[in-house]
Amino acid sequence: MSTDKSVARAARKEVVDFEGKLIGPEDADYDEARKVYNAMIDKRPALIAQCSGPDDVAHIVAFARDHDLLVAVRGGGHNGAGLGTCDDGVVIDLSRLNGIEVDPQARTVRVGGGSTWGDVDRATNEHGLATPSGIISTTGVGGLTLGGGLGNLTRTHGLSIDNLLEAELVLASGEHVKASGEDNPDLYWAIRGGGGNFGVVTSFLFRLHEVDTVIAGPTFWPVELGAEVLSAYREFLPNAPRELNAFFAFATVPPGPPFPEEIHMRKVCGVISCYVGSEEDGAKALAPLLDALPEPLLPGTAPMPHPALQSAFDGVYPAGDQWYWRADFVKEIPDEAVEIHAKFGAELPTWKSTMHLYPIDGAAHDPSPSDTAWSYRDAQWGSVFAGVDPDPANVDVIRQWTVDYFDALHPFSAGGAYVNMMMDEGQERVRASYRDNYERLARVKSTYDPDNVFRVNQNIQPQA
Ligand SMILES: Cc1cc2nc3c(=O)[nH]c(=O)nc-3n(C[C@H](O)[C@H](O)[C@H](O)COP(=O)(O)OP(=O)(O)OC[C@H]3O[C@@H](n4cnc5c(N)ncnc54)[C@H](O)[C@@H]3O)c2cc1C
């Protein structure tokens, strides 16, 4: 815990050219500024540096190094494990770096390193365009992209990193560099999945695709049909066209509109789908799943602007809830695993708790496991078990359900997990998640951050 006021004072004195805002424990806005999305994370940095641009970032990196202070980098602050902040060190807060420039002719968007996806989705949708992001609009572009980026367009257009054309970074040395196919290609390879290990990304350039109105929404069945629905889904999804994105979920129907009152708070299972194309083709794409199952409780797909889908669940998941989650990559879901899912899915401990299976096929399978740092191109799904509740008194309950669910299914997993959905689970788990790419990542790390300045992340340790 930081009661140390001297760090912020020293920063104000020494970092004379700083154009953003420096906030220390004595400042009135300190408690607001140190909050992150997951209310289970309660860290007290010695300094929060809300940077205005790359030069600010470089000044603060140098200051932190001079004073031997731990450095955390905060994009959208959504990380479940709280890796956008730290105790006693310096938080490089990028929230002011949130500019967005769409180039409709070139079909690209340049995005500040501290932007959130909702702003990007809205800006690109004005031109009928989009780039793959996640499923909740308040998530940071920075963390989501650097860890990979799974979402409602993955099967159609790949992971977020598959659409990352270039990035600008401030390195641990303070140097400003570009990473792209031409500039520092080893760095470009590493940041596509390797997280915030290599530097602070101050801007991203993404490829855009024609995605405007999508045919999207939830299709839910009673949770009692969990095994039947999941069995049908595991057969259906791999054969579905790329234009269809459909993640499986166990969830509780939220207690409010637009959901019909008679099903409020019902535990359900089903898919949240997003078809990129016409309503008629979307219906055809989903039909084999619907034909294999009884009438759903909620047939919820409808045409909607892409940003409306991306923000549809923001109201259910505002900042400030308690989150505890675990994740695994999955290649197949055998019958035994289906039964385990059905059991835990029926026992969701709180109404916001959920389990998702995010598809990792279609366009996400186009690159090979070594084309980018993101190794699990041969997985079929990324599973995430998320215990969520607003009440801190329920932390133990949500944690226990999550860990028990994860433990029961881990034997059926592919080994590693999506780093963006891990808690702080140790080095072996990080290695398992990068597999054969880990050694190369460690070499790139020793080139760009040999002293491991950027270590508040799923850490790749520099090669000795
Ligand atoms: C409600 C919710 C929904 C989510 N949905 C999805 C989803 O649909 N798809 C998906 O793939 N993931 C999803 N995630 C996981 C998400 O990708 C990770 O939590 C990610 O770390 C969030 O990024 P952030 O910038 O908001 O986080 P932060 O907490 O700010 O940062 C997380 C990590 O990224 C690093 N980082 C962030 N920005 C930069 C930068 N510009 N330069 C260098 N390092 C940086 C930080 O140092 C830290 O290690 C979700 C998370 C939540 C809580």
Tell which one of 115, 144, 326 to mutate to probe ligand 1, the residue whose CB is within 8 A of the most ligand atoms: 144
Pocket flag, ligand 1, residue 150 (CB < 6 Å): yes
Verify whether ligand 1 is closer than 6 Å to residue 200 (CB atom).
yes
Ligand 1 mean position to 370 CA, how many Å? 22
Pocket test for ligand 1, best of 35, 61, 79 (most atoms within 8 A of CB): 79
Cα 15 to Cα 51, 110, 453, 454, distances in angstroms: 12, 28, 19, 20
Best residue among 41, 43, 73 to mutate for probing ligand 1's pocket (most ligand atoms within 8 Å of CB) is 73
Q: Which residues of the chain have pLDDT under 50?
A: 1-2
Q: What is the pLDDT of residue 4?
A: 72
Taken in order 249, 252, 257, 259, the sign of the CA dihedral is positive
- Within 10 angstroms of residue 35's Cβ, the number of other Cβ atoms is 16
443: amino acid identity, one letter = R
**Does 112 sit in the ligand 1 pocket, CB within 6 Å?**
no
The number of the ligand 1 atom at minimal distance from the alpha carbon of 199 is 43
Is 228 within 8 Å of 346 (Cβ atoms)?
no
The predicted structure's pLDDT at residue 300: 83
Burial 408-421 (b: 16+ CB within 10 A, else e): bbeebbbebbbbbb
Give the model confidence (pLDDT) of 20-48 as tens digits. Answer: 999 999 999 999 999 999 999 999 999 99
Edge to edge, what strands does the sheet with 100-103 contain? 100-103, 108-112, 200-207, 164-170, 176-180
Q: Is the CB of 196 under 6 A from ligand 1?
A: yes
Single-letter amino acid, residue 236: F
Residue 73 Cα to ligand 1 midpoint, Å, equals 11
Q: What is the pLDDT of residue 3?
A: 54
- What would the two tokens of residue 268 be? 């359900």
Q: How far is Cα 89 from Cα 4, in angstroms, rounded to an integer?
A: 10
Q: Is 376 in the pocket of ligand 1 (CB under 6 A)?
A: no
Of 226, 259, 221, give the one whose Cα is nearest residue 347.
226
- Phi, psi at residue 145, to the nearest 5°? -70, -50
Atom of ligand 1 nearest to the CA of 454: 47
Rounded Cα distance, 338 and 328, in Å: 15
318: cis peptide before it, omega within 30°? no
Residue nearest to atom 8 of ligand 1 (CA): 134
CA 352 to chain CA centroid, Å, is 18
Pocket test for ligand 1, best of 74, 110, 152, 389 (most atoms within 8 A of CB): 74
The per-residue pLDDT for 1 is: 42
Ligand 1 centroid distance, CA of 79 (Å): 5
Q: How far is the CA of 83 from the centre of ligand 1 (A)?
A: 9
| Cα distance between residue 64 and residue 69, in whole Å | 5
43 lines ligand 1 (CB under 6 A): no
Which among 100, 80, 75 is positioned nearest to 40, based on CA atoms? 80
What pTM did the predictor assign?
A: 0.97
Is residue 137 within 6 Å of ligand 1 at its C-beta? no
- Reference 282, options 244, 309, 226, 320; nearest CA is 244
Of 134, 141, 348, whose CA–CA distance to 247 is shortest? 134
Q: What is the pLDDT of residue 85?
A: 98
For residues 79-92, one letter each, b for 16 or more C-beta atoms within 10 angstroms of the residue's C-beta and e for the rest, the string is bbbbbbbbebbbbb
Instruction: Count other C-beta atoms under 10 Å from residue 291's C-beta.
Output: 9
Describe the strand order of the beta sheet including 71-74 as a list of residue ranges: 21-23, 47-50, 90-93, 71-74
Ligand 1 neighbourhood includes 201 CB (under 6 angstroms): yes
What is the distance between the alpha carbons of residues 390 and 231, in angstroms, rounded to a whole number?
32
Q: How far is the CA of 246 from the centre of ligand 1 (A)?
A: 22
8 Å CB contact between 230 and 249: no
Is the minimum distance from the CB of 25 to ligand 1 under 6 angstroms?
A: no
Residue 405 one-letter amino acid: Y
Evaluated on CA atoms 264, 270, 276, 280, the torsion sign reads negative
